[in-house]
Amino acid sequence: MAEQKTNVMRVLEQKKIPYKAHSYPHGDEAVDGVTVAALTGMDPAGVFKTLVAQGASKKICVFVIPVAMELDLKKAAKASGEKSVLMVHVKEITALTGYVRGGCSPIGMKKQYATFYHNTAADLESITVSAGKIGYQVELNPEALIKLTNGRLADIATEG
């Protein structure tokens, strides 16, 4: 169990969504998701990273994909109904989401953005995402997570 409760955990508790907290040793710098999966002893296919992008219309979109995969910008644009999408610059992430790079969660962002999950999420018994702080993860039912964030499933990633 994580020693520290994050806002993500508070949101899940408020919504009565069961979760399991995980923590891993960390410094101030984010580590890649595959390393997070290894540090927590989890299968990388069930650990997802949260990526923030901006469409050609200037609309912000959130894409949640397995840590070992890469966001396919063309597929992401198609899924979000945009002509194109580009990753948001690291400097802008905190202002848009309230989270820092490496601790960005699809749960509890400053605003509710259009959120898309890689379609493999539907095949999993549980999905693990950032708990909103570097060093902390939450594992929960993917259906509950998708419903909570008004998310949609889409083919948005390719093998990394």
The whole-model pTM stands at 0.94
Please say if the pLDDT value at position 7 is more than 50: yes
Percent share of the chain, pLDDT over 90: 82
Q: How far apart are CA 13 and CA 155, in angstroms?
A: 30
Cα–Cα distance measured from residue 85 to residue 102, given in angstroms and rounded to the nearest whole number = 20
**Closest to 53 (Cα-Cα) out of 106, 108, 11:** 106
| b/e code 114-131 from CB counts within 10 Å (16+ = b) | bbbbbebbeebeebbbbb
Rounded to an integer, the average pLDDT of 52-61 is: 97
Residue 114: alpha-carbon gap to chain centroid: 12
Sorted by where each starts, the structural domains of the chain and their CATH numbers stand as 7-159 (3.90.960.10)
